[in-house]
Structure 1
Amino acid sequence: MATLWGLAVRGICEFDGKYLLLKIRSKSAHDAGRWEIPGGKVKKCEYFDNALKREYLEETGLEIDVDTLLNVVRRDYTACKTNEEVKSIQLIMKVTCDSDEVTISEEHDDYGWFSLDEVNEMIEKGLLTPPAAEAFEK
């Protein structure tokens, strides 16, 4: 079977010196209870900046502007529905928004705006998903 490659895009949003993270719901099959950067999979024939705007709106209720590429991380996983092995490339973008009032989706249990020091503490304690930790470490 051929290797599947997936593309995801995530956005690091800074507002008043704090960064937005979402807590993955406790019933999730992957990384339950860990914190992640908002974003998700790019659909077929979708530009990745539009995918990020769509995912941000779905997950946070925020409308964003995509500024620049910050990082690229890779995460390999097994797809829940098909049991296929997927190699995922995640583009980590810097994004901006005009508000810090977040409305989370059912994918998440909580959200927070954290200082860089708080984010680094969370990384040390293993509270972030591996891609989120890697995105902030570079």
Structure 2
Amino acid sequence: MKPFIPVVRALIRGDDGVLILKRSRDSATNPSMWELPGGKPDGGETLDEALSREVHEETGLEIRPMHVLGAFEQVFPEKVSVNIIFSTEFRGDVPKISSEHEDWCWFRGGEMDFSPWLREFKNKNPWLFEHPRPR
């Protein structure tokens, strides 16, 4: 049986859409695919602590996790990644991406080369990606 690896992800909705990041082309998982910011918890971290840390490392933004929106698996040869998506509030302006990613954008709709778990999440929750954040 493959181990389940938790990964926390932030749905960051700005005035211009949802923040998505493009993985580096030399990434071991989902190279050159678009995803939500986030990553794996370090030992002893809660999920919300991990999410805040990962988003800050990847984008420079400060967030506050609000609610779990869903969880979606992606099966790899050696593991199953369980992506837990949180709604968030954020502070900051223009993201400053880390070396793990090669691009970012505020996504409002259309087709892009999404990671498999994000494609599934978007297809089940299209309204989250089609409207700017509530005021």
> TM class, shorter-chain normalised?
0.7 to 0.9
Rounded to whole Å, the distance in 2 between the matches of 1:53 and 1:133 is 23
Q: Which residue does 1:58 correspond to in 2?
A: 57
Question: Which structure 2 residues correspond to residues 118-129 of structure 1 after superposition, within 5 A?
Answer: 118=110, 121-122=111-112, 127-129=113-115
In the TM superposition, what whole-angstrom CA distance separates every residue of 1:66-98 from its partner, at most 9, and x where no partner exists? 1111111011214xxxxxx21221111111212
Range with greater deviation from structure 2 (50-59 or 27-36) = 27-36
Q: So what's the TM-score if we normalise by structure 1? A: 0.83
Runs of 4+ in structure 1 over 2 Å off:
none
Alpha-carbon distance, 1:12 to partner: 0.7
In the TM superposition, what whole-angstrom CA distance separates every residue of 1:18-58 from its partner, at most 9, and x where no partner exists? 10000111111222111111001122221001000010000
Rounded to whole Å, the distance in 1 between the matches of 2:54 and 2:79 is 20
Rounded to whole Å, the distance in 1 between the matches of 2:123 and 2:43 is 30
Aligned residues: 124
For the 8 Å contact 1:67–1:93, the answer to whether it is kept is yes
CA-based RMSD: 1.4
Among 74, 82, 85, the residue aligned to 1:92: 85
Unpaired runs of 5+ in structure 1? 79-84
In the TM superposition, what whole-angstrom CA distance separates every residue of 1:96-137 from its partner, at most 9, and x where no partner exists? 21233100000000111111x23xx22xxxx00011112222
Q: What fraction of aligned residue pairs are identical, expressed as a percent? A: 35
Q: Which amino acid aligns with 1:100?
A: D
Alpha-carbon distance, 1:17 to partner: 4.4
